[in-house]
Amino acid sequence: MNRKLLLIAVALLAGQFTVRAEVQPHPLFTDGAVLQRDVSVPVWGKAKSGEQVTIEFCGQTAKATADAEGKWKVSLKKLKAGGPFTMVIRGENTITLTNVCVGEVWVCSGQSNMGFTLNSADNAAAAIAASADPQLRLFKVPNVTADTPQYSVNAAWVVSATNTTPSFTAVGYFFGRDLRKALGVPVGLIMTAWGGSYAEAWTDRATLEKVCPAAFDRYKESINEKSLANYEKTLQNVKKVQANFKAAVAKAKAEGKPAPKPPRTPEDPRTTKNRPCVLFNAMLAPLQPFAIRGAIWYQGESNAGRSKEYQTLFPAMIANWRATWGLGDFPFFFVQIAPYQGQPPEIREAQLISWQKTPNTAMAVVTDHGEAADIHPKAKEPVGQRLALAARALTYGEKIEYSGPVFKKMKVSGDKAVLSFDHLGGGLVAKDGALKGFTIAGAAATGASNNFVKADAVIVGDTVVVSSPEVKKPVAVRYGWANVPEVNLFNKADLPATPFRTDVE
């Protein structure tokens, strides 16, 4: 065969191999995966158009035919917890997945406090050393953006071990660890989080346009000739600093001075992670419709400047996830923002309101584990534990308290305001001394005054009685109403009360 015919033959053979498409499951179905128990379980992937695909798992056989786009999906009937098992996927080729378990699957999402890794937590060494658990599995979604909903993610399941947990979400790990102890079944955790992200980036376009169009308007306003010119100017300045950075560090060292901080490259407004919908498209949509039990969420810091809007945006985002996943009102448990000098009380109020008006949700309060000068408190174990309490109580039916006291109503008796609460947890407690964190306002001759003063507060039975010598006719009480609240109202279940105000706007 001459060289020309040989090249033609090679080309034809290459064409044959290009046309042939091997059956491939979605990346959520890898060795070590965890599938959700007690529900119908979709399994999906890609193959050649028209290719027959057969799934064999736990005595079940399910078949599908790849559509015109090469996509296929089957549904397995309800599965009982256990494993490890083997899944066989047959098409024109055969794929065998090993070490697959059936148990409880939870999504762990949000911004940097959910992305905060176990190796940075305050008890990292001990936690990592004890993290090996063959029935706790981890799936970490990479940080990517997309302008349209995506099919796949570049990730795979791994078993919880000392070499896999350090880079995994600390809050998610402690949550999953506690569920493993409480339930005794395999647990799968899917981490999909990105520091500094807005809630609107985790919400799809149709929802935002309907419920929160202001988010789109802000984005459009951020991409104009002036903003792009400012971005380019800032970028060029940063590049100049970066070019001289090593020399600046060396000079500071020689002079015995602290090294300068490296310059931060500005985000391009055209590609930032906080464009509306881009994280939903790239980091959430590819996970659907994977069968899950629920989600835990730690976010809100980036939306704190628009706390009033968050009262609407956050519940809409939750409803959006539930609608697109198609699993009904699945459990959605979240963390109230920890005390920090840059986080106003209004964002905690927005989260409280979201909890109170959204079904099958719970809020973990962490007023006792904040750091005034650090938006990323290192005490992540109690956060995961409190989220697990909510799951154990609301999802798995344990008869335990999962929340600290929550303000219910106020009654005025003379010069005193008497407050009652839900979630008494066996009784109210002033932890480590007299109650603190309460302020009170009275009625002026012309109406209610906004002048709140420090108040005395005492526990009387299941109520808190609040007063001040400066206020003769109370009209409103606030508790923990500060960026860094100093508070100590708990219940006997050792869970802190959420900050609140009786004069809700």
User: Which of these three, 386, 402, 418, is where a domain ends?
Assistant: 402
Considering the domain architecture, whether residues 428 and 452 belong to the same structural domain is answered as: yes
Which one, of 10, 37, 18, lies nearest residue 100 by Cα? 37
Burial of 7 (0-12, 13-18, 19+ CB in 10 A): exposed
| Total H helices, total E strands in the chain | 12, 25
pLDDT reading at 461 higher than 50: yes
The domain spanning residue 212 has which CATH number? 3.40.50.1110
Is 2 a domain residue?
no
Residue 11 covered by a domain: no
Task: Evaluate if residue 12 carries a pLDDT over 60.
Answer: no
Distances (CA, A) of 351 to 315, 388, 395, 413: 9, 18, 20, 30
Cβ neighbours, 10 Å, residue 59: 8
The answer to the question of residue 184 being in a domain is yes
Considering 402, 431, 458, which residue would you say is the last residue of a domain?
A: 402
pLDDT at 362 over 70: yes
- Determine how β-strand 34-36 pairs with β-strand 500-501: unpaired
Tell me the per-residue pLDDT of 220-268, one tens digit each, with 9 for 90 and over: 777 778 888 888 999 998 888 888 888 888 888 888 888 888 888 888 8
Which of these ranges, 20-29, 33-42, 66-75, 195-204, has the smallest mean pLDDT?
20-29
- State yes or no: pLDDT of 349 exceeds 70: yes
**Res. 4: pLDDT tops 70:** no
Confirm whether 3 is domain-assigned: no
Q: Give dist(CA 105, CA 187) in Å, integer.
A: 6
State the CB neighbour count (10 A cutoff) for residue 324.
17
Count of other CB atoms within 10 angstroms of residue 22:
13
Distance, in Å, from the CA atom of 437 to the CA atom of 478, rounded to the nearest integer, reads 8
Q: Strands 60-65, 294-298: parallel, antiparallel or unpaired by DSSP? A: unpaired
Bridge partners (DSSP) listed for residue 157:
139
Domain annotation covers residue 4: no
**Cα distance between residue 23 and residue 278, in whole Å:** 29
Range of the domain at 237: 229-268
Cα-flanking dihedrals φ and ψ of residue 336, to 5°? -75, 140
Instruction: Answer yes or no: do 157 and 278 share one domain.
Output: yes
Q: If you ran DSSP here, which 8-state letter would residue 376 be given?
A: S
Average of pLDDT values for 57-83?
Answer: 98
Last residue of a domain, one of 382, 402, 422: 402
Contact yes or no for 130/178 (Cβ under 8 A):
no
Euclidean distance between CA atoms 75 and 79, whole angstroms: 11
Q: In terms of domains, do 294 and 382 share one?
A: yes
Which residues are paired to 411 by β-bridges? 418
132 and 194 in one domain?
A: yes
Residue 32 lies in a domain: yes
Three-state secondary structure along 15-45? HHHHHCCCCEECCCCCCCCEEECCCCEEEEE
Q: In this structure, is residue 7 part of a structural domain?
A: no
**How far, in Å, CA of 303 to CA of 332, rounded?**
19
CA distance 475 to 449: 8
pLDDT in tens, 431-446: 999 999 999 999 864 4
Question: Is residue 1 one of the residues assigned to a domain?
Answer: no
Res. 16: pLDDT tops 60: no
- Residue 289 and residue 259 share a domain: no
Q: Do 395 and 414 belong to one domain?
A: no
In sequence order, which residues have a C-beta less than 8 Å from that of residue 16 and are 6 or more positions away? none
Question: Do both 359 and 465 map to the same domain?
Answer: no
Of 24, 107, 492, 167, residue with least CA distance to 325: 107
- Say whether pLDDT at 110 is over 50: yes
Residue that the structure tokens 């448990």 belong to: 333
Within this chain, do residues 214 and 242 fall inside the same structural domain, yes or no?
A: no
Domain count, the chain: 3
Contact indicator for 125, 208 with CB cutoff of 8 Å: no
Q: Do 184 and 261 lie in a common domain?
A: no
Whole-angstrom Cα distance, residue 95 to residue 90? 6
Same domain, yes or no, for 394 and 416? no
Global model pTM greater than 0.85: yes
The verdict on 204 and 329 lying in the same domain is yes
Please indicate, yes or no, whether residues 178 and 285 belong to a single structural domain of this protein: yes
